[in-house]
């Protein structure tokens, strides 16, 4: 008797498999090889672009857990990103030379950021029990303004209007093995901070993706999705709204704060203002999960790569377009304006034509090849 | 044996004599170092020197970035027409659009850092702060296009012109001497590093000039400022030190007119934009109630050699260039870099470390009055920025809309300003 295909789901255990088919396992190996090799050969520019995309992907994964899996819309992500970044500056030694803060190693300040983000997320999660939809969005928008005000006034922690330098090292030691992600040596090759951040950010993307995948495919994940689809019905069948809504806020905010620490490392210096930590940053995260695909893990990652790299791709290739001009006074688009326009068009196009985002397109491609060469 | 030793001695003496002969003219010509040919380094291929520019060429801040970069360009075009640095190395600018966003600026930095010997211009306080740790790590050198005092002691940066604190002190001194004594003084500043620098100058000068600041309000850039203007109006402020950028200046003045609130507005350098004076709604307010403080002589003042040089270059290389204070700053910034590069070429070292070293050997950066001379000294800690500013009233039909009342004056209050950095 022929063996059933590995992709066939016959039991709960089958359903829980992370990599059920050989193609997925090969894909995982390819990704692991890329993770190890790309930073060794990539130049500083594209290293910088991909490192930022990795940082953004971590934050987007956190938001997707909250908005995509639990159905709690939030525009407060920028507040948690800021919290994480300032934790890195204060506890990671950014201002230690000036006698301010601490000089803890990477693991410790990332942990502090995660706990602090989770604690604030808990407080924000409480009103979410009584609010939903647009009302919840307004509360989270208020959080961004409140946080900005706090960052500007809490000079000990953030440096106030002057801002705060970020850590100049990001060391991780396990036993005798140690690496400084801002100055790593890999396979005997000394790399720059961009390449080091690539390792750190994408390593954390893998950890966070695995964490969210594990939440999503088990009982808590089903509870979160039940809350998203019909919260009252979910409560009637025994899902605790308090536990799951608040937990989603805690985990999502903790992840966002972790992304914030890396954002701080990437920027090198952070000043609290609307440009760096304002509402636009929150909207950008929402755009990433919309374009990538709400409620999917790889959608958040694809969205972060696309939205993160888009401005630079446009900058690099814009000169080939006849309607791109260097002079804002002339007819046509400047590079910056073109980037913003394409960004806006992408969001509209995905919302109207493919609400499931890049993940939806990817699923269709997969489905096509599953049936190939038959069309039925 | 003895004859052999004598032969060696004669040989050594001959070699020493030849070596002295070769170096003597330079050595006796005033002790200037002999000009060596700089070896090829990133950004210098033996013929051309490449400098980086990271500036907003699109977005709101492009109104500042574009003329500033044009100022850089015209200076170097003029210099290149004379052969370039050291008379033989023309300078090329590699311009990247930062869109006034830190992430885009950092990527632009990473893109061109290996292709340039130094950065002629990096615009934006937050952007400079983010790039600075990288400059330190990679031993780079850059000209910040902001007047924050925090750059003064940074060995990797090339500040030019008087800081905002000095501007604030000079305009307050002028106001006190011109009818402002005993008047109710207030301040309106944007809520960031630039605003803090302006307010710092106001606070320090209030102690020297013995006046009280009755009310201070802050605002977020491009936000609605009705409440803040209302607070100043309710406090009956008779003078307002304004620390803003042009977009906000326009909306603040509109709100003041709307409330029929007409204090004497004292605006720091970046508050102003050419064309405000001709605005149909606000133009007369500027003419009657606005005084500007900034750098250098009035545009077109041929009596100042630095301005005359710039105007001659503008006429030759960019006759369409409109009068613009940001252009003049960009021109001065390139002039500063030129003095440092000239020294680096003389030293025969255009490497990043060589340029940083040259900056400690130039002594004082001189601009023939276009902006104040800047003492650089032997190390960054010795730097001392100029203390002079120009006070101008607003007038229609004059270049930039600014008519100088006092040119390049340094008040006691400005001289006493303590600059953090």
Superfamily of domain covering B164-294+390-415: Response regulator (3.40.50.2300)
A221-225, A326-330, B229-233, B387-391: least confident range: A326-330
Q: How far apart are CA B383 and CA B372, in angstroms?
A: 13
ipTM of the complex: 0.81
Q: Which of A269, A280, A288, A342 is the best residue to mutate to test the B interface, defined by the most B CB atoms within 10 Å of its own CB? A: A269
pLDDT (average), residues A130-137 = 85
Q: Which of B99, B190, B198 is the best residue to mutate to test the A interface, defined by the most A CB atoms within 10 Å of its own CB? A: B99
> What are the tokens at B318?
């960019």
Query: Judging by DSSP bridges, how do beta strands B374-377 and B363-365 pair with one another?
Result: antiparallel
Domain locations along chain A:
27-278
Task: Please report which confidence band the pLDDT of residue A116 belongs to, taking 50, 70 and 90 as the band edges.
Answer: very high
Q: Which residues of A touch B137 (CB under 8 A)?
A: 168, 193
> What are the tokens at A6?
């590995």
Q: Within 10 A of A199 (CB to CB), how many other CB atoms are there?
A: 20
pLDDT values of chain B reduced to their tens digit, one per residue, 421 residues: 444 454 554 454 444 444 444 443 443 344 445 567 889 999 999 999 999 999 998 777 888 899 999 999 999 999 999 999 999 999 999 999 898 889 889 999 999 999 999 999 999 888 999 999 889 888 899 999 988 888 888 999 999 999 999 999 999 999 999 999 999 999 999 988 889 899 999 999 999 999 999 999 999 877 899 999 999 999 999 999 999 988 899 999 999 999 999 999 999 999 998 899 999 999 999 999 999 999 889 899 999 999 999 999 999 999 999 999 899 999 999 999 999 999 999 999 999 989 999 999 999 999 999 999 999 989 988 999 999 999 999 999 999 999 999 988 999 999 999 987 6
Greater model confidence, A7 or B344:
B344
pLDDT at B20: 41
In DSSP terms, B50 is beta-bridged to B92
CATH class of B49-162+301-386: alpha beta
Task: Please report which confidence band the pLDDT of residue A375 belongs to, taking 50, 70 and 90 as the band edges.
Answer: low
pLDDT at A333: 76
Q: How far apart are CA B157 and CA B419, in angstroms?
A: 16
> What are the tokens at A241?
């709204």
pLDDT at A134: 86
Q: How far apart are CA B372 and CA B209, in angstroms?
A: 23
Residues B340 and B357 sit within 8 Å (Cβ to Cβ): no
> What are the tokens at A275?
């440009």
pLDDT at A5: 65
Q: Count of alpha carbons within 13 Å of B109, Cβ hemisphere only?
A: 28
Residues B253 and B265 sit within 8 Å (Cβ to Cβ): yes
**Counting runs of H as helices and runs of E as strands, what totals does chain B give?**
13, 13
Residues A136 and A262 sit within 8 Å (Cβ to Cβ): no
pLDDT at B63: 83
Q: How many CB pairs under 8 A join A and B?
A: 99
Q: Do domains B49-162+301-386 and B164-294+390-415 have the same CATH topology?
A: yes
Interchain contact, A336 vs B97, CB within 8 Å:
yes
> What are the tokens at A289?
């999960």
pLDDT at A327: 63
pLDDT at B2: 47
- Residue found by looking up tokens 């594209």 in the block: A46
A window 256-275, beta carbon within 8 A of B: 266-269, 271, 273-275
B115 touches chain A (CB under 8 A): no
Task: Please report which confidence band the pLDDT of residue A31 belongs to, taking 50, 70 and 90 as the band edges.
Answer: very high
Which of A162, A166, A328 is nearest residue B193 as measured by Cβ atoms?
Answer: A162
pLDDT at B1: 44
Domain locations along chain B:
49-162+301-386, 164-294+390-415
Task: Please report which confidence band the pLDDT of residue A7 belongs to, taking 50, 70 and 90 as the band edges.
Answer: low
pLDDT (average), residues A68-78 = 93
Greater model confidence, B349 or A328:
B349
Residues B350 and B117 sit within 8 Å (Cβ to Cβ): yes
In DSSP terms, A218 is beta-bridged to none
Query: Over the stretch A139-150, which tens digit does the pLDDT of each residue have?
Result: 899 999 999 999
Which of B62, B129, B222 is nearest residue A271 as measured by Cβ atoms?
Answer: B129
Q: Please confirm whether the linkage preceding A373 is cis (ω < 30° from 0).
A: yes
pLDDT at B421: 61
Query: Judging by DSSP bridges, how do beta strands A269-270 and B49-55 pair with one another?
Result: unpaired
pLDDT at B59: 75
pLDDT at B180: 94
Res A23 pLDDT > 90: no
Which of B97, B129, B132 is nearest residue A315 as measured by Cβ atoms?
Answer: B97
- B198, B204, B206, B210: CA torsion to nearest 10: -170
Q: Which residues of A touch B99 (CB under 8 A)?
A: 311, 335-336, 339
A311 touches chain B (CB under 8 A): yes
């Amino acid at each position: 008797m022929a063996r059933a295909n590995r992709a066939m789901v016959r039991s709960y255990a089958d359903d829980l498999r992370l990599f059920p088919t050989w193609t997925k396992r090969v894909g995982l190996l390819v990704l692991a090889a890329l993770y190890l090799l790309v930073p060794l050969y990539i130049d500083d520019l594209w290293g910088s672009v991909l490192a930022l995309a990795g940082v953004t992907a971590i934050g987007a994964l956190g938001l997707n857990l909250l908005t995509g899996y639990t159905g709690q819309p939030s525009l407060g992500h920028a507040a948690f990103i800021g919290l994480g970044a300032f934790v890195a500056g204060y506890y990671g030694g950014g201002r230690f030379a000036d006698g301010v803060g601490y000089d803890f190693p990477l693991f410790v300040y990332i942990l502090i950021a995660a706990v602090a983000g989770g604690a604030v997320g808990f407080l924000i999660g409480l009103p979410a029990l009584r609010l939903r939809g647009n009302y919840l969005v307004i509360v989270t928008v208020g959080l961004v303004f409140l946080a900005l005000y706090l960052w500007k006034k809490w000079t000990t922690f953030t440096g106030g209007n002057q801002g705060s330098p970020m850590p100049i090292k990001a060391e991780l030691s396990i036993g005798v093995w140690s690496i400084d992600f801002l100055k790593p040596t890999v396979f005997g090759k000394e790399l720059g901070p961009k390449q080091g951040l690539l390792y750190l950010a994408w390593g954390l993307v893998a950890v966070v993706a695995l964490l969210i995948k594990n939440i999503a495919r088990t009982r808590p994940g089903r509870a979160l999705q039940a809350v998203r689809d019909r919260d009252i019905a979910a409560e009637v069948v025994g899902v605790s709204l308090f536990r799951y809504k608040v937990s989603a806020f805690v985990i999502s905010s903790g992840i966002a704060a972790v992304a914030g620490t890396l954002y701080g490392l990437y920027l090198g210096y952070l000043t609290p203002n609307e440009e760096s930590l304002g509402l636009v940053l929150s909207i950008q995260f929402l755009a990433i999960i919309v374009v990538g695909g709400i409620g999917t893990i790889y959608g958040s990652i694809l969205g972060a790569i696309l939205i993160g790299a888009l401005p630079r791709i446009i900058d690099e290739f814009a000169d080939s377009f006849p309607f791109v001009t260097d002079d804002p006074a002339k007819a046509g688009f400047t590079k910056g304006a073109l980037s913003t326009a394409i960004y806006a068009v992408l969001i509209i196009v995905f919302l109207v034509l493919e609400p499931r985002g890049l993940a939806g397109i990817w699923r269709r491609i997969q489905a096509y090849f599953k049936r190939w060469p038959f069309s039925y | 044996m003895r004859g052999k030793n004598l032969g060696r001695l004669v040989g050594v003496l001959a070699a020493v004599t030849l070596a002295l002969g070769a170096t003597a003219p330079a050595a006796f010509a005033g002790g200037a170092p002999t000009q060596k040919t700089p070896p090829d380094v990133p950004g210098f291929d033996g013929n051309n020197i490449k400098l980086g520019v990271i500036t907003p060429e699109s977005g709101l801040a492009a109104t500042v970035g574009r003329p500033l970069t044009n100022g850089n360009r015209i200076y170097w075009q003029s210099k290149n027409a004379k052969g370039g640095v050291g008379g033989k190395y023309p300078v090329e600018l590699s311009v990247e659009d930062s869109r006034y966003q830190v992430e885009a600026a950092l990527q632009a930095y990473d893109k061109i850092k290996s292709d340039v010997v130094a950065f002629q211009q990096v615009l934006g306080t937050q952007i400079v702060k983010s790039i600075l740790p990288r400059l330190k790590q990679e031993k780079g050198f850059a000209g910040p296009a902001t007047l924050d005092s925090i750059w003064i002691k940074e060995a990797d940066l090339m500040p030019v012109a008087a800081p905002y604190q000095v501007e604030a002190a000079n305009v307050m001194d002028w106001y006190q001497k011109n009818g402002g004594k005993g008047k109710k003084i207030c301040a309106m500043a944007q809520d960031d590093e630039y605003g803090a620098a302006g307010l710092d100058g106001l606070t320090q000068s209030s102690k020297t000039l013995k006046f009280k600041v009755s009310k201070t309000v802050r605002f977020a850039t491009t936000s609605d400022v009705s409440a803040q203007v209302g607070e100043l109006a309710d406090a009956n402020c008779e003078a307002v030190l304004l620390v803003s950028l042009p977009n906000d200046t326009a909306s603040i003045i509109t709100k003041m007119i709307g409330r029929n609130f007409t204090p004497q507005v004292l605006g720091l350098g970046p508050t102003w934009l050419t064309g405000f004076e001709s605005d149909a709604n606000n133009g007369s307010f500027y003419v009657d109630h606005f005084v500007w403080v900034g750098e250098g002589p009035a545009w077109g003042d041929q009596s100042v050699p630095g301005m005359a040089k710039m105007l001659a270059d503008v006429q030759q290389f960019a006759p369409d260039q409109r009068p613009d204070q940001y252009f003049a700053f960009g021109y001065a910034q390139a002039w500063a870099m030129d003095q440092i590069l000239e020294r680096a070429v003389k030293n025969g070292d255009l490497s990043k470390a060589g340029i940083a070293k040259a900056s400690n050997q130039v002594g004082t950066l001189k601009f023939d009055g276009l902006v104040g001379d800047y003492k650089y000294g032997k190390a960054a800690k010795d730097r001392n920025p100029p203390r002079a500013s120009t006070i101008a009233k607003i007038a229609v039909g004059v270049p930039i809309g600014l008519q100088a009342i006092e040119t390049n004056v340094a008040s006691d209050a400005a001289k006493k300003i303590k600059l953090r950095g």
